[in-house]
Amino acid sequence: MTLAIGTVGGALAWWAALPLAWMIGAMLATTAASVAGAPLRMDMRLRTLMVTVLGVMLGSGFQPELLNELGRWSLSLAAVALYIAVAGAAAYLYFRKVCSHDRITAYFSAMPGGLAEMILVGTAMGGDSRIISLSHAARVLLVVLTVPFAFSFFTEMDQAARAAARPGMGEIPLLDLAILTACAVIGFFLGKALKLPAAQLVGPMLVSAVAHLTGLTTLPPPVELVGAAQVVVGSALGARFAGTALHLIARTVLQAVGVTAILLSVTMIFAVGLHVGLGFDLRAIVLAFSPGGLAEMSLVALAMSADAAFVATHHILRIFLVVVFAPAVFRLTGGKAREPG
C-alpha cells in the first residue's frame, strides 16, 4: 500500500512537472496518508536495495577528469566541520530556549546529520526518541521540499529534459549492466565490512566511483531504476510518520520549520561565502551544505544537473563527522545520560 500511494503521488508530481517529481510526490502522498492514519510502513530491505542503486548512480559522477578537482575541494571540505559546529550550536539553542526541550533531546535533535545514529544514541542517553526522530525526519522532509522548489522558482530548471537525458534500460549494454550490478553488490558488503557511515549508499558509491574513474564503464544505472529508487526513498520518508499522534506531529513539524529555517540560513551564509571566495558553483555548494539526507540531496543534485560527486562527498564527510564526534562532544561538554525512569 505504501508503494502504491507513493507511486501515485510520484506520477501526479511528474504530471504537474514538479522538481524531483518521483521522490517529492511519493513523499508528500505517503506523509499525507500517514498523518491521516493509514498504517504505512516500508520494508527496509527494499529501501536498502534501492539506496544501493543511488550509490552506484552517484559513483557514476566520478569521471576521470574529476581527479583534477579534488585539490580545489579541500577548503570547502574543511569548512564542513565549521558548518556543523555553527549550525548545530544554533539549532541546539533554538530547541532549548524556544522549544524548551531537555538538554539531551535538544542536542541530538539539533545535529545536522546521522539521523539513525542520533536517534539511537540520543534515546540511549535518555532523550525523547519520538521528538528526536520526528525532528530529524521533518528536517529532511522540509529541506528536500524547500531546496528544489526554490531552485526551480529562481532558475527555471527543466526536470523533464534532464530525466530524459539519462539512458533507459534498453539502451545500456548487458556488460555495463553486469558491471553496475557488481558495483552495487560488492559495494554493499564492502561498506558493511568496513562499517562505513550510510554503508548501503557509500559502499556502492565508492566501488562505482572506482569503476568509472578507471574507465571500466562510463554509464549510470538506467533511468527506470533511478525513478523507482526515488519512489522508494520518498515513500520511506513519508511512512516514518505512521502511527504517531497527530498533535505530536503538528507540534514537532512546526518546531522543525523554525530549525530548518535556521539551518538553511547558516547553509546560505557558508554557500555564498564559498561561492564568492572560491568560485564554486552556487547550486552545488548550496546542496553540499544543505542539512538534508545524503541520498535525498544527492538525488536533488542529479535532478538539477549539479555536480553530484561534489555534493555527495561533502555530505559523506558531514555525516561521518557528526556520527563520530557528536556523542563525544556531548560528553566532553558535561552531558550525561539520564537514569532510566
Q: What mean pLDDT do residues 9-17 have? A: 87
pLDDT confidence band for 341 (50 / 70 / 90): very low
Give the per-residue SS3 of the chain.
CHHHHHHHHHHHHHHCCCCCHHHHHHHHHHHHHHHCCCCCCCCHHHHHHHHHHHHHHHHCCCCHHHHHHHHHHHHHHHHHHHHHHHHHHHHHHHHHHHCCCCHHHHHHHHCCCCHHHHHHHHHHHCCCHHHHHHHHHHHHHHHHHHHHHHHHHHHCCCHHHHHHHCCCHHHCCHHHHHHHHHHHHHHHHHHHHHCCCCHHHHHHHHHHHHHHHCCCCCCCCCHHHHHHHHHHHHHHHHHCCCCCCHHHHHHHHHHHHHHHHHHHHHHHHHHHHHHHHHCCCHHHHHHHHCCCCHHHHHHHHHHCCCCHHHHHHHHHHHHHHHHHHHHHHHHHCCCCCCCCC
pLDDT: which is higher, 211 or 138: 211
Euclidean distance between CA atoms 248 and 135, whole angstroms: 11
* 228 against 338, higher pLDDT: 228
Residue-averaged pLDDT of the chain:
83
pLDDT of 340 above 60? no
Which residue from 198, 178, 166 is spatially nearest to 55, judged by alpha carbons? 198
Count CA atoms closer than 13 A to 176's CA, side-chain side: 17
Check residue 129 and give its pLDDT.
73
* pLDDT value of position 295: 67
* Model pLDDT, residue 178: 95
pLDDT at 1: 94
Residues 45, 192: Cα–Cα separation, whole Å: 14
Find the mean pLDDT for residues 1-25. 85
| pLDDT, tens only, 80-96 | 999 999 999 999 999 99
Cα separation of 28 and 238, whole Å? 7
* Closest C-alpha to 84, from 305, 317, 247, 258: 317
With 0.75 as the threshold, say if the pTM is over it: no
Largest separation between any pair of C-alpha atoms in the chain: 60
d(CA 273, CA 289): 12
pLDDT of amino acid 154: 64
Q: Which of 130-139, 197-206, 293-302 has the lowest mean pLDDT?
A: 293-302
pLDDT greater at residue 203 or residue 113: 203
Find the mean pLDDT for residues 194-200: 77
Q: Is the pLDDT of residue 26 over 80?
A: yes
Tell me what the mean pLDDT of segment 261-280 comes to. 93
Please state, for a pLDDT cut of 70, what percent of the chain lies above it.
Answer: 88
Q: If you average pLDDT over residues 283-306, what whole number do you get?
A: 81
Round to whole Å and give the CA distance between 95 and 177: 47
For residues 274-279, average pLDDT? 90
Answer yes or no: are the C-beta atoms of 217 and 179 closer than 8 Å.
yes
Give the C-alpha separation, 22 to 18, whole Å. 9
Of the pLDDT bands very low, low, confident and very high (cuts 50, 70, 90), residue 74 is confident
Residues 6+ apart with CB under 8 A from 233: 23, 26, 47, 50, 51, 54, 295, 296, 299
Q: What is the mean pLDDT of residues 59-68?
A: 73
Q: What is the pLDDT of residue 161?
A: 41
Q: What is the per-residue pLDDT across 107-117, written as a single tens digit (0 to 9) for each?
A: 999 998 766 66
